[in-house]
């Protein structure tokens, strides 16, 4: 089914996930077959090896125009406001996440796209859900605006599939850990910041309690999950916009200790702020049996491998930065 994706648009290409997904897709599909879009952050580095367009997801006409210009058949829609930023500006989160998604789906329907992939999130879950192994099929009553918009995105995606036959796919991602581009405004950002601070300052104050345990995933697993889900045979899919995908689950203290094992001078403390409430409303882990059964999802990085790789790559990156 990979053949059905020939010209791919990645909306939100300068974000944490987009900046890495674009290079993977360009390796598989060719530099000029993957078009990235950005809005607030200008593209740099290898993103400029192929086409890039400025685009605001609130401008449906502009999305349609770019789809037309490059004869796009498939879209990865990654532009979104994350959970913590969404709580400080719920109106903006609603607009960007819900109206942006609606605009992309409408372009998909009108311009008959083959496939639209929209990541969902652990943010869809609320306090009623079992803390351990939150099932794929469960009550979705999130308490953050981010969660509300992500449930809406899932429901819309499934609606467009059932009503119009538009092939919309999505997975509920845990917090994503990566070294290339920083996440912005998420609750799980501590799991990335801790690495930067450990290398640069040898100290980090976590903004959650030490026993806060959340589902997390290393970026190579995340980009692979997105691509494998996009390439799966439609007939194999029993879900569409709402697959749980699980990988790691560890507490803030577990992470701090894993980093200290490799950087012994690293010191840390825990000073929970308003983001704690969001973290407390999410489960510790997810059950992703349907993703494993339907499209063979299998994470590769454990806590130790992720921590080794993250420290190596981040040191390399920060050294290079200093040399420039």
Residue 121 within binding range of ligand SER, rule CB under 6 A:
yes
Site map (CB under 6 A) of ligand SER, residues 147-186, x = contact: --------------------------x-x----------x
Site map (CB under 6 A) of ligand SER, residues 28-47, x = contact: --------------------
Q: Which of 22, 43, 42 is nearest to 32 (CA)?
A: 22
Among 181, 187, 244, 307, binds ligand SER (CB under 6 A): 187
| 146 given a catalytic annotation | yes
CA angle 217–151–66, rounded 5-degree value: 80
For residue 268, the Cα-to-chain-centroid distance in whole angstroms is 27
Among 82, 107, 222, 291, binds ligand SER (CB under 6 A): 82
Q: Which of 7, 81, 10 is nearest to 47 (CA)?
A: 10
Residue 97 within binding range of ligand SER, rule CB under 6 A:
no
For ligand SER, the closer CB: 72 or 248: 248
Residue 142 within binding range of ligand SER, rule CB under 6 A:
no
Q: Nearest approach, Cβ of 184 to ligand SER (angstroms)?
A: 9
CA distance 227 to 202: 36
Task: Report which DSSP code applies to 134.
Answer: B
Q: Nearest approach, Cβ of 190 to ligand SER (angstroms)?
A: 9
Stretch that binds ligand SER, among 63-71, 119-127, 229-237, 311-319 (CB under 6 A): 119-127
CA distance 190 to 68: 40
CA dihedral (97, 100, 106, 112) positive or negative: negative
Among 83, 181, 244, 246, binds ligand SER (CB under 6 A): 83
Among 97, 178, 188, 212, binds ligand SER (CB under 6 A): 188
For ligand SER, the closer CB: 69 or 131: 131
Burial class (CB in 10 A: 0-12, 13-18, 19+), 36: buried
Task: Report which DSSP code applies to 291.
Answer: H
Spatial neighbors of 246 by CB under 8 A, at least 6 apart, are: 174, 215, 217, 285, 286, 287, 288, 299
Q: Nearest approach, Cβ of 320 to ligand SER (angstroms)?
A: 26
Asked whether the beta carbons of 114 and 173 are under 8 A apart, the reply is no
Catalytic residue among 29, 38, 70, 146: 146
CA distance 151 to 309: 33
Q: Nearest approach, Cβ of 124 to ligand SER (angstroms)?
A: 9
Residue 123 within binding range of ligand SER, rule CB under 6 A:
yes
The residues of the shown chain that bind ligand SER, judged by CB under 6 A, are 82-83, 121-123, 146, 173, 175, 186-188
| Active-site annotation, residues | 146
């Amino acid at each position: 089914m990979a053949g059905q994706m020939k010209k791919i648009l990645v909306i939100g290409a300068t974000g944490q996930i987009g900046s890495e997904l674009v290079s993977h897709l360009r390796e598989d599909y060719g530099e000029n077959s993957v078009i990235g879009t950005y809005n607030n952050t200008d593209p740099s580095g290898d993103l400029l090896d192929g086409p890039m367009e400025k685009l605001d997801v609130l401008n449906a006409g502009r999305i349609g125009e770019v789809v037309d210009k490059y004869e796009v058949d498939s879209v990865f829609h990654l532009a979104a406001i994350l959970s913590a930023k969404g709580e400080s500006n719920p109106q903006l989160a609603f607009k960007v996440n819900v109206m942006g998604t609606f605009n992309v789906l409408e372009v998909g329907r009108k311009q008959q796209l083959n496939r639209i992939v929209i990541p969902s999130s652990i943010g869809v879950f609320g306090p009623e859900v079992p803390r351990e192994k939150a099932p794929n099929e469960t009550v979705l009553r999130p308490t953050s605006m981010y969660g509300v918009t992500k449930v809406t995105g899932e429901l819309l995606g499934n609606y467009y599939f059932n009503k119009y036959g538009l092939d919309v796919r999505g997975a509920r991602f845990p917090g994503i850990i990566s070294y290339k581009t920083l996440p912005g405004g998420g609750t799980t950002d501590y799991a990335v910041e801790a690495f930067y601070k450990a290398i640069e300052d040898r100290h980090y104050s976590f903004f959650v309690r030490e026993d806060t345990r959340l589902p997390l995933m290393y970026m190579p697993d995340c980009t692979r999950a997105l691509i494998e889900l996009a390439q799966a045979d439609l007939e194999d899919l029993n879900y569409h916009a709402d697959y749980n995908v699980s990988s790691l689950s560890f507490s803030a203290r577990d992470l701090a200790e894993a980093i200290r094992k490799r950087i012994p001078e690293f010191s840390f403390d825990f000073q929970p702020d308003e983001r704690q409430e969001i973290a407390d409303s999410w489960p510790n882990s997810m059950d992703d049996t349907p993703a494993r059964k339907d499209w063979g999802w299998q994470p590769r990085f454990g806590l130790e491998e992720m921590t080794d790789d993250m420290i190596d790559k981040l040191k390399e990156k920060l050294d290079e930065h200093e040399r420039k």
